[in-house]
Each structure stands twice: as structure tokens, then as C-alpha cells.
Amino acid sequence: MRQLQVAIISLYALENNGIRHVASSLREADFRVTEIYFKDWVNNRFPWPEEQEVQNLLQLLRDRKIDVVGFSVRASAFHRMAKYLTERVRASLGVPVLWGGMHPTFLPELCIEIADFISVGETDHIVKEFFVRLDEGRSVHDCPSFWVRQGDTVYRNDIATLVELDDIPFRDFHTREDKFHVEGDKVVVGDPFVTNPEYTVLASRGCPYWTCTFCSNTLTKPLYEGKGKSFRVRSVESLIQELEYAKELCTNIKVVRFDDEVFPIRSEWVDELAEKWPSRVGIPFEVLCDPRMVRLEPLQKLKQAGLRAVCMGIQASERVNQEFYKRNTTNQMIVDAQRIFRQVDVVSNLQIIWDDPYSTEQDKEDLFRLVMELERPFELYLFGLTIYPNTHLARKLLREDRIQPHHVEGINTHAFEQFRVDLNYPRPAEDRRWLALLVLANKAFLPKELIWKLHAMERFKTDPGPLVALAQGVNLVKMAGVAAEMTARGEMTPLLIKRWVNPESLVTM
Ligand code: B12
């Protein structure tokens, strides 16, 4: 066992893949790693930590005699909180602090002003090199993928070559004693996610489309240029073996959710998965897909293997998708994809991004008409546009003076407040009307004629209040239905209720 005592901390995410991958790699290199899950998220509200929680975190680090503290800063909205916790750790323990995750990848210059070290991009293998050097008292100044600050000097290193996904160790779900969940007045030992009914997994990293201007891939694709393929797919065998391993340890899995940007759909890959999944895993699963990839045959095969639901972004009107989001999708592709989902009989969760500065009233009308054209039933999830730093969209909006720097995540915390649209959030009357109409549009128990009548009523354009109240009521009925279905499937847990039932900001479904 190596001497250096390492702690890595997940902020408000019990499932955090990044932490678990880093911990697995370091354990492979003989490090004793303390994995800390610091609080969990509540939808549209990431409450600032209580002093008791900070004290418990610091005490835990002291008790474990930690030499280096790593924070996983996934989302830029955590910037201020990560800075605060870094300062508290330094003041209390006097140890160096390392930040890893997508936020330092997006904004390395800003983050290295605060942390002693940052990692940029994926670190699965190179993280071992970094900690081995620290453990052996060697210099880390030139360690690939890491930036090091010493006094006023910053050592910036190029990123390491990307590794094949099959060569990355599985996330560790077997260690119990070195994992802690800090929340409220409690510090609970053990992995907080092994009892979760939903098991999340990635079959790939990166995105084959990658041009959507709002997405992190517009940044990571050029970052990884010359370092290997940024879009990589795991072998089916590696995936199945991970699920076999996970099933032994996470004994309550009722559904597997693939979190890939888009689920791999190459035909031999799908054939192999469809053949192996039922007998070796046999758990229903859900995937994310893109309108450009939806085809009948692979979906039929996946359905036979256990595909239960698909998630697909509509995002905006055809014009906004093509001109501003650089998504080469058409309305026809979306209509066709939904028809295929109905034909295959999978639940379709369609997603829309609201609050963009480009959509005109005509775009909103077009989007509403598209949604009304879709074959029912389908679920509709409304998200508020969050502007992530350094994405193509952020740079364009700043250039065009449509936003100010404080509107960009990092200074802003939009992802904490309106990640999912809440109908009561203050928005212009016309937007409240559109959002209410969209919420009504996918409720299969409401006849479309009724929705068209509500759409035609002029008075809601200036006073959408009654329409919003109707949509809220209908939304609550829907929520109760979803909750009942999930309870019947054994998927409703106190954790899920805490995350999603937030009376201060009810999400739309
Ligand atoms: C899947 C996913 C989720 C899942 C997570 C599932 C899980 N089991 O972890 C869920 C749905 C829970 C989720 C939630 C959120 N997400 Co998310 N998510 C992703 C996605 C698509 C993949 C993340 C992933 O698992 N990657 C694979 C792992 C292995 O990579 P990784 O986490 O980056 O970790 C590697 C390195 O970063 C590094 N690393 C990470 N941590 C550390 C720590 C140390 C010490 C070191 C050395 C290295 C290191 O090493 C790891 C191994 O290579 C990314 C997009 C992307 N390309 O990253 C968005 C992404 C990270 N999410 C994003 C956001 C905004 C969020 C939310 C805030 C949304 C919300 N309001 O709910 C929350 C935040 C939750 C939280 N508290 O962190 C944004 C962040 C953008 C930004 N700059 O803010 C991204 C980039 C998507 C985007 N829109 O572009 N997310």
C-alpha cells in the first residue's frame, strides 16, 4: 500500500462516474482512496452546505490523515461552492487541493487560480502517474493532463493520449469501508449508490455529432484533437461484464439507464448486445438518442432485448436548431422518429430547451405545431437553456453582446435554478403561455381539439395566468400517475422523492 493518503470528493452527486473511475484507477495503483459523497442534489435547488456538513467533511479528512484532497467539479455552477470548500480545507488542514472534472476542463485558467492542481479532460490512466509521482516525492510539474501552480508560476501541460474504454477499470462498487456520504448531521459509511434501483452506465464517450453549440462536446472535440478518437464505444462484452459485476453488488437494480450522449447504434454492436443482454443481464434499459439515428430495425432488436424507454432532444424549432444550435435535424426527422418509437412500443421522453435568445414568436409557434403533430403518447421534458463556458454558443452570444459574462455558468448558477422548467418561474407572459400549452400538448388524456382551442384564445397572450394554472393542475395529475407507476415497479425511493419533489420549484412532466 502506498503512503500518500488521497481523498476525492463528489459535490452533490451520489452517482458521480468520474469519482468512481478515478478511485478505481488509484486503487489499482495501490493507493488507499477515501471517496466522499458530499451531499446530493435536489431538483432546481442545490442548497449551500450547512456549517455542520462542512465541519463533518473537515473532521473526516482530519481523521483519515489526508495528504491531498481532490474535488470533482463536474458542473461550472459549482465553481463558487468548490472555491469555498477549497478555502475551508486549506485553512483547516493545510493540504494541497486538486480539481478535476468538466469545469476545470472548460475553464482551466480560472480554476488554477484557486486550486493547487487541476486536471484537464479524462484522467483514467494518467491520474495514477500524477499520484505515484506525488507519493514518491517526484515532480508533477510536467505531468500530462495536469496543471500545477507553485507560487505565481503555473505549469500547464498538454493532455495525455485518450485511452480505449475497454482498458479502463470498472467503477468500484465493492469497496465499502473507504466511502462516505456526508449529508445533514450524518456521515454514513459505505457506497450511497449501491441500493439505488436505477443503475447508470456509459457505453461510449464523446458524441458522433458534437456540433450542437450549447454542448460541452464543441469544446472537448478540439481539445482531444490528435489525442485519439474523441468518440469511442466500449465493446459489448466489456459492458455486459460490467453489468454482471454490478448485479452482484448493487442488488436492487430495476432499470439500467445509459447516459451516453447518443446510444451507439452500429448494427453489429446492436446485434451483439441484443444477443447477450437478455440472458446475461436481463434488466430493462433506457437510452438517449438523436433524431438523426433513429431506425426501425435496430430499435426493434433493442426492444426485444429489454429497451423500455428512449430519450430524444427536439430542442427547438427547425430554424433555431439549424441556424443557432447547429443541429442538422429537421422536423420531419423528429416526426418520423416518434412514429418509430410508437411502432416499436417504447416510452419516448422528448426534450425541449427553452429560454434561448434566438427563438422568435414564430419559432415558438412552429415548435408548438411540431409537438402537436407528434403521434401520442410521449413524455415532454422542458429544460431552461444553460450557457456553459467556452462552448460555441457562449462565445457567440458574448461576441454578439446578447449576454454578459455573468450570464455564463461559473459566475451564473442557472443549472441549479431552472435546469428543468418550473411554470411559476418569472418569465414574459408570452413564454408562460407557450410553456403552459406545451405542458398540455403531450397529455394524452386531453383531446387535441381542446388544446387547439386554448391556443386560439387571444386573451391568454396577455394574461396566461388561468392557462398556467390549468397546466399546473394537469401536471400534478400526471406526476401522481408517474409516481404510481414507479411505485408499482419498485423504482420509487426516498432519494428520488427528495431529488424531484421540490415544492419550491415544481418541474413539468
Ligand atoms: C452522464 C452525465 C450526468 C449524469 C451523471 C451520471 C453519473 N453516474 O455520474 C447526471 C444526469 C446525474 C448529471 C447531472 C448533472 N450534470 Co451532467 N453530464 C453527464 C455527461 C453526459 C457524462 C458525464 C460522465 O459520466 N462522463 C464520464 C466520466 C468518467 O467523466 P467525468 O465525470 O468527466 O470524469 C473524468 C474527468 O473529468 C476526471 N475527473 C472527474 N472528477 C475528477 C476528480 C479528480 C480529483 C480528478 C483528478 C479527476 C477527475 O477524471 C474522470 C475520469 O476520466 C456529461 C457530458 C460530458 N461529456 O462530460 C454531462 C455534464 C458534465 N453535465 C453537466 C451538468 C450541467 C449537469 C447538472 C448540473 C445538471 C442538473 N442541473 O441537474 C447535474 C450536476 C450533478 C452534479 N451534482 O454534479 C454539464 C456540465 C457543463 C458545465 N460546464 O457546467 C455537462 C458537461 C453536459 C453539458 N451540458 O455539456 N450529468
* pLDDT > 90 in the chain, percent: 90
Q: Is the CB of 44 under 6 A from ligand 1?
A: no
Q: Per residue in 464-492, pLDDT tens?
A: 999 999 999 998 888 888 888 888 888 88
Q: Going along 290-390, which residue ranges are E strands? A: 307-315, 347-354, 379-384
Find the range with the poorest average confidence among 12-21, 80-89, 387-396, 487-496.
Answer: 487-496
Predicted confidence at residue 176, as pLDDT, reads: 93
Predicted confidence at residue 501, as pLDDT, reads: 77
Q: Is the CB of 419 under 6 A from ligand 1?
A: yes
Q: Is the CB of 40 under 6 A from ligand 1?
A: no
- Rounded to an integer, what distance in angstroms lies between the CA atom of residue 486 and that of residue 480? 10
Index of the ligand 1 atom closest to the CA of residue 419: 71
Q: Is the CB of 286 under 6 A from ligand 1?
A: no
Closest CA to 390 of 13, 78, 108: 108
Q: Is the CB of 210 under 6 A from ligand 1?
A: no
Predicted confidence at residue 491, as pLDDT, reads: 86
Q: Per residue in 309-342, pLDDT tens?
A: 999 999 999 999 999 999 999 999 999 999 999 9
Please report the sign of the dihedral spanned by the C-alpha atoms of residue 330, residue 334, residue 335, residue 340.
positive
Predicted confidence at residue 436, as pLDDT, reads: 96
Predicted confidence at residue 505, as pLDDT, reads: 72
Residue 504 has pLDDT above 80, yes or no: no
* pLDDT > 70 in the chain, percent: 100
Residue 430 has pLDDT above 90, yes or no: yes
Dihedral over alpha carbons 476, 480, 482, 484 (to 10 degrees): 180
Contact 281, 320 (CB under 8 A): no
Residue nearest to atom 87 of ligand 1 (CA): 216
Residue 429 has pLDDT above 90, yes or no: yes
Residues in the chain: 509
Query: What domains lie within the chain, and their CATH numbers?
Result: 5-189 (3.40.50.2300), 198-421 (3.20.20.70)
**Average per-residue pLDDT for the chain:** 95
Index of the ligand 1 atom closest to the CA of residue 19: 41
Predicted confidence at residue 240, as pLDDT, reads: 98
Residue nearest to atom 29 of ligand 1 (CA): 18
Distance 162 CA to ligand 1 centre (A): 17
Q: Per residue in 163-193, pLDDT tens?
A: 999 999 999 999 999 999 999 999 999 999 9
Predicted confidence at residue 29, as pLDDT, reads: 97
The C-alpha cell that represents 164 in the structure block: 480505449
Residue indicated by cell numbers 439507464: 257
Neighbours of 309 (CB within 10 A): 17
Per DSSP, 410 falls in state T
Residue 506 has pLDDT above 90, yes or no: no
- Which of 41, 78, 102, 218 is the pocket-test mutation for ligand 1 (most atoms within 8 Å of CB)? 102
- Across the range 52-56, mean pLDDT stands at 98
Burial class from Cβ neighbours inside 10 Å (0-12, 13-18, 19+) for residue 406 reads exposed
Predicted confidence at residue 421, as pLDDT, reads: 93
